[in-house]
Amino acid sequence: MFARIEQYLLDHGCVESAVKVQNTAKIFEIFYRSKGPQKKWINRQLDNEIARMAMIQYEIGTDQKRLELEKRQKFNGDLTEEEKNELEGHKAKMASYNKRWWFLNQKYHSHLFNKPKGSYIREFDLYQNGYVSYTQEEVQRACKAIGGCCAYDCGCCYRERESSRKPGLFMHCREGCICCQRRRNQRDTTEILDLERNQRAWDIMAYDYCSINLEKRL
């Protein structure tokens, strides 16, 4: 009943009213103990989305490093042994990303196939489909909280990420962001692992990624 009312309101542009009905439905679902399974599914799906965001940024960063070394090789005529090994490493990583993407995509859609029903899931769908979104200020605070580019003036989060795999994507930073890696001046991402604890910030950025890219991300 609640789902049909909400959909009717959404179809007629009454998003705020649909959200109010949805919040009422949540009260009833507390008694049926259906909140837990829905929240568990949502958290896992957000993790799946975040993992895909991270891989895309890693791939973009690796490709940029590869291109820089190839340009240097062309300009100088050769590379040092260390640079040659680094270039081969980047090429090997690039070759591995197709397999990694297949795995992440399969995991995402497998979990999506087992999507439960309920008011919390419908709330999740509102964010996913752009009916409801976090404000720009909220998303910027989340990005800053994990050390992303919103804390600086490079503008990475508001430019197309230039992904050959998914052209036209906009997203805030994961640890794979090439600009963030250079700012940290490190080749690995061990120092950022503690930031994984700030799950709410990651979730906000995942919701934002979904709402601004919609079908591009699938």
pLDDT for the residue 109:
96
Amino acid at 194: D
Compute the chain's Rg from CA coordinates. 20
pLDDT class of 196 with cuts at 50, 70, 90: low
pLDDT of residue 31 exceeding 70, the answer is yes
**Using CA atoms, how far apart are residues 107 and 101, in angstroms rounded to an integer?**
10
pLDDT for the residue 175:
79
What pLDDT, in 10s, does the model give residues 69-128?
A: 999 998 888 889 999 999 999 999 999 999 999 999 999 999 999 999 999 999 999 999
Mean pLDDT of all residues in 1-26: 91
pLDDT class of 191 with cuts at 50, 70, 90: low
**Using CA atoms, how far apart are residues 162 and 177, in angstroms rounded to an integer?**
12
pLDDT for the residue 39:
93
List the domain boundaries for the chain. 34-216
What pLDDT, in 10s, does the model give residues 51-72?
A: 999 999 999 999 999 999 999 9
Long-range contacts of 156-162 (CB under 8 A, 24+ apart): 161/56, 161/57, 161/60, 162/60
pLDDT class of 218 with cuts at 50, 70, 90: low
pLDDT of residue 193 exceeding 80, the answer is no
Q: In terms of pLDDT, which residue wins out, 191 or 137?
A: 137
Mean pLDDT of all residues in 144-153: 90
Q: In terms of pLDDT, which residue wins out, 147 or 30?
A: 147
pLDDT of residue 190 exceeding 90, the answer is no
Question: Distance from CA of residue 186 to its chain's centroid?
Answer: 22
Phi, psi of 97 (to 5 degrees): -70, -30
pLDDT of residue 187 exceeding 60, the answer is no
pTM of the model: 0.84
